[in-house]
Structure 1
């Protein structure tokens, strides 16, 4: 525990020193650094963690160093990219599966505003299924762990074309996304079974000033089994009021091989304010992979301390039932900074 406390104090000191140093050039953490009058901006995030999980040695790590580069001029064109250096440093990582250092290309795309309500995107982007996958940056989500429903049922990236926008005259701001790909993923992550081809849509409908509901549909094939056509239907929801928040996602993936190869998952998450900067977080998830006879159930209870909107400390305990999916169980914590 002394090592964890020392690591957190050191990381917090670096954050404070960086904030003070960069204040001379009108920079604030979490807002990115604008490069003079070029329209170019730099940002990113970093995540350090401590884990003490069942059936695994305790682990202290610098998990992510992510860099955002984006450009927006005075015209209709915009550019965005995200590089993520994963598993930068870790204790007890020798010979552990998934601990290899890897420079991931999360996003690389060019946008063109066709009209005020329609933008065309080309390149590599996050798969628009649910909400969590589109947020995904560790300082912006409430827990260190990520629901299986947001990682196992569909590939998290697409390389292709997207058309998206908002219709302000429809339901007080109806948001839509249409996308498609013929595969050929740009710098595919070796840990992800990428799309061989996909066509899909995502829509967000405001239901009040405090909540919205989303719908996802997609039909796709994946590189590891290009002869199996899959379809996915998803539902997501978020409600927030007076710093309370409830969110939920559900996804069902159908397989042409039959119901035994269907895959499904859902979770609900509640956030409750305890103090000015401290929140309690609880989440329940059920996930059943293809071919499984029983569903994995996961229970998460944790705390989230937002030192600033850009610096977040999290700790949580995860318990499981029928955990044949290999989901982590035990204690997880992290310290994240958004640049």
Structure 2
């Protein structure tokens, strides 16, 4: 365990020890400008070849309001912090913390606001939930991890369209290196897009995104994304899909298509059953998979999540079971 992690963890513990009327999941207010929080998640994975236990995510956050027009958030995270292969006893992991988010918000009006820095790419539903404890399953759909940069170092102009009630927009762009290139799924220095989401009723919403990015190996990808969500507290249905066309440095073009449909049923406030179907096809890499997932979620408290799932893959060697415990402080 590195000195860096011990220092961060000590700061968090000290902050919590001095907190008054602390409520789990809401962080600690140190003063009117600074709040701190943290979260972690553990995962047990069993597949055809190995059983592995992981302390998967460890993160520390700081956030607050400087004045009514400006707020900020900073988050440092270590992914794959510690792992142990229970089959052969091998241990591994990385204690290095990376910058996942570091941004400021300038709040102008309901119609026009500016976010600048490193942020979650404002596309779809799944990608905008970066913390494991807030997600419905332990795993992420391939749609949200392989086809567009999930993080953005740049600017996001956002707000509601005045002429259309309930229509929110995000106009975002990046024309530089990522703030932490070791911590991004697709390295790029060019990423632009527009995302729209419309609230049709208290239960229904839908949206779409278009964008383009150029990777560090000169792969130019243009994509079109669409999704819809229904949530009446007991039932939640989510559907997202993305079509991408990529131009490669060797002159070849290729298409990729991915999406998922997920249903979640709450048979009590704490317990939920989840089913998801995923499809992924990338003609350039010739990787195709159909995935069916059946999962269960238990939340004794909203900031505490215990989840389990089993995945059936059309690539049968990739079938696996996942169990996770996540806590937001």
Calculate the TM-score normalised by the size of structure 1.
Answer: 0.85
2:166 maps to which residue? 173
- 186 and 293 in structure 1: CA distance in 2 versus 1, 3 angstrom threshold: closer
Alpha-carbon displacement from aligned partner over 1:65-89 (angstroms, at most 9, x marks no partner): 1112112033311111111111222
Shift of 1:200: 0.4
Aligned positions of 1:12-161 closer than 5 A: 25-36=20-31, 38-55=32-49, 57-92=50-85, 99-161=93-155
Instruction: Classify the secondary structure of the residue corresponding to 1:180.
Output: strand
Alpha-carbon displacement from aligned partner over 1:285-320 (angstroms, at most 9, x marks no partner): 000124255631001001000110110100000010
Task: Give me the whole-angstrom Cα distance separating, in 1, the residues matched to 2:280 and 2:157.
Answer: 31
The answer as to 2:261 corresponding to 1:271 is no
Q: How many residues align?
A: 312
Task: Give me the whole-angstrom Cα distance separating, in 1, the residues matched to 2:178 and 2:89.
Answer: 28
2:327 maps to which residue? 337
Shift of 1:211: 1.1
Task: Give me the whole-angstrom Cα distance separating, in 2, the residues matched to 1:234 and 1:80.
Answer: 27
Structure 2 residue ranges without an equivalent (≥5): 1-12
Task: Give me the whole-angstrom Cα distance separating, in 1, the residues matched to 2:183 and 2:171.
Answer: 26
RMSD: 2.6
Structure 1 residue ranges without an equivalent (≥5): 1-17
- 75 and 319 in structure 1: CA distance in 2 versus 1, 3 angstrom threshold: same
Instruction: Classify the secondary structure of the residue corresponding to 1:29.
Output: coil
Shift of 1:102: 3.5
Aligned positions of 1:127-276 closer than 5 A: 127-167=121-161, 169-189=162-182, 192-223=185-216, 225-226=217-218, 228-256=219-247, 261-276=254-269
Task: Give me the whole-angstrom Cα distance separating, in 2, the residues matched to 1:77 and 1:97.
Answer: 44
Moved more, 90-99 or 154-163: 90-99
Instruction: Classify the secondary structure of the residue corresponding to 2:194.
Output: strand
Calculate the TM-score normalised by the size of structure 2.
Answer: 0.87
